Structure 1
Amino acid sequence: MEKVQLVPLWSVAGGVAGLVVLTAMGHLSPLGWIAGIAYLVVSDVLLARGLHASGLTRFGPANAATLVRSTLVGLVTALVATGLFAAGAGGAGPGETGFGGGLVGASTQEVRAALLVGLAAPALALDAVDGWIARRTGTTSDLGARFDMEVDAFLLLVLGLAVAPALGWWVVAIGALRYAFVAAGWIWPWMNQTLPPRYWRKVVTAVAGIALVVAATELLPLWVAQALVGVALALLLESFGRDVIWLVRAHRRAAARTPVWAAVRRSAGEPGA
């Protein structure tokens, strides 16, 4: 195994150190440990496999920034898992926070929410940095773009889970959209085509992340937080919808260019079709 493929181990080591600190502060449960470790191990194994497949020999500063983001997401995941378990055990009702519910005191609940925001905010901020670093250093790559996108998607998912007990479980759709899109690609392979670059995707993702973090601070009235996150969801639906429309049109154009005899051979499963 090449040295570059061992770089993800630094994320695992840093994540474990962060989990130890959170546990020492009394804000992490065994379930939180399981969720945090699971994310770190799975994400870094996939990253190592991607590095091997891409043939990259240098990790690069942009990927390093994304790796730091991924480590922070692992810690956020652990906090959210801890909070959801506490809320479930305490019987949190509608409008109550998901970071402690009735199981813990208000001070612990507030500290856990502050920790989550304190970890998620720099993870979001670094999202604006890694791409800039890649362009400035000439180290852009398909792997780096994919790594960045997957970290974004999972962060939105766990932040949605964090605020769902307070705002309603509909907010989980913000993070689930990416995975629904991937699942659709398994059913309809033509949806796996490479989409054209569009800066609006990054803007919408950033808006969604900021909306969820602001909602997680619990500083806004419930209806304001719901409206803010609702706008973010609407923007994401518009962005994904535009991509789906582009893919449908591209698929139809490709089908129109396919000779009839080739389509018949392909449907019959003949060799060379």
Structure 2
Amino acid sequence: MSIDTISKPLLHNTLIALCVVFMASVFSYLVLRSHLLIGIGTIASAATLLLFIFALVIYALPSHNHRRFGAANVVTAIRAAIVSLVGATVLFAGERLVLEPALPALIALAMSALALDCVDGYLARRFRLVSALGARFDMEVDALLILVLSITVLLLEKAGGWVLLIGLMRYGFVLAQYPFPWLRAPLDDCFRRKLICVVQVGALCIIMLPFITPPVSTAIAAVALLLLFYSFTVDVLHLLRHAGEAR
């Protein structure tokens, strides 16, 4: 299915929803500027990243088999806006992040994105607007948030470079689908996968707290990584088993 097959009502509804979220996000970025101690460059980067994410959403719109974009996807779009701001702030702060008084605000933003993660799924089920687009949109926002937080933990020197594996594992799984197409098979909805995702974000946010230092922060990160590795291993073995049965 190509993007040309998107119904006009759905495309129109989606564009309006994303435009409203984008404009509200940029306004919020400007309001939060003093709290996060960020410049116009950071705001522009966050807005650019958000535009890129929304462009990908529109490209994937054919997989949304409903006439409306839906409240659930709007919530996910808001989460994407939060993650974009956190990511841009971390990118521009760099190694200075350890000295940033705005760190508590970053943690609060990350936790708000995590809290909203519980809302979008509920809304999708409540209004019967569950779709492949919504599930993928939600998953990729989660993955981006975890990657950003992993980088933050590294910059704060709360764990070694291996902590980036927490953020990169999802993308490694996606890249592995090219040489191993059987990894592209759909996975059933799983509470274990959702729970471990929440644990990753929660653990990384805890590590970012100023009073959590090595070796405690290192231990928390290691446990989070082991749980994530376990979850991916279970999924890969499941897909491998089903690929073998299909032959």
* Pair in the same fold by TM > 0.5: yes
Higher relative contact order (CA 8 A, sep 6+): 2
Return the alpha-carbon distance in structure 2 between the equivalents of residues 196 and 26 of structure 1: 39
Name the SS of the counterpart of 1:206 in structure 2: helix
Structure 1 CA distance, aligned partners of 2:35 and 2:128?
41
Q: Does 1:177 align with 2:187?
A: no
Contact conserved, 2:47 with 2:84, CA < 8 A, in 1? yes
Q: How does 1:71-220 map to 2 (within 5 A)?
A: 71-84=81-94, 87=95, 99-100=97-98, 106=99, 109-110=100-101, 112-165=102-155, 166=157, 167-220=159-212
2:239 aligned partner, one-letter code: L
Show the counterpart of 1:5: 14
Residue 18 of structure 1: aligned partner: 28
Whether 1:232 aligns to 2:235 is: no
TM-score by length of 1: 0.80
Q: Once the 2 structures are TM-superposed, how far is the Cα of residue 14 of structure 1 from its aligned partner?
A: 2.6
Q: How many residues matched?
A: 235
Give the counterpart of 1:58 among 50, 55, 68: 68
Following the alignment from structure 2 to structure 1, what is the Cα–Cα distance between the partners of residues 118 and 35? 30
- AA matched with 2:97: F
Distance 1:192 1:136 in 2: 28
1:39 Cα shift? 1.7
Q: Deviations over 1:129-172 (max 9, x none)?
A: 21122222222111111111011000000010111121222111
Task: State the alpha-carbon separation in 1 of the partners of residues 145 and 116 from structure 2.
Answer: 12
Structure 2: segments with no counterpart, 5+ residues: 1-7
Corresponding letter in the other structure for 1:235: L
Pairwise CA distance, 1:192: 0.5
Does the 8 Å contact 2:30/2:43 carry over to 1?
A: no
Give secondary structure in 2 for the equivalent of 1:146.
Answer: helix
Once the two structures are TM-superposed, the CA of residue 237 in structure 1 deviates from its matched residue by: 0.2
Aligned partner of 1:38 among 48, 57, 77:
48
Q: Which runs of 5+ in 1 are unaligned?
A: 88-97, 101-105, 256-273
Contact kept? 1:201, 1:239, Cα under 8 Å: yes
Which letter maps to 1:252? G
Change (3 A) 1:8 1:184: same
Q: Which has the larger radius of gyration?
A: 1
* Aligned 8 A contact 2:63 2:132 in 1: no
Q: CA deviation at 1:37?
A: 2.6
TM-score of the pair, normalised by structure 2: 0.88
RMSD of aligned residue pairs (Cα, Å): 1.9
Contact 1:160 1:171 in 2 (8 A): yes
Q: Percent identity?
A: 35
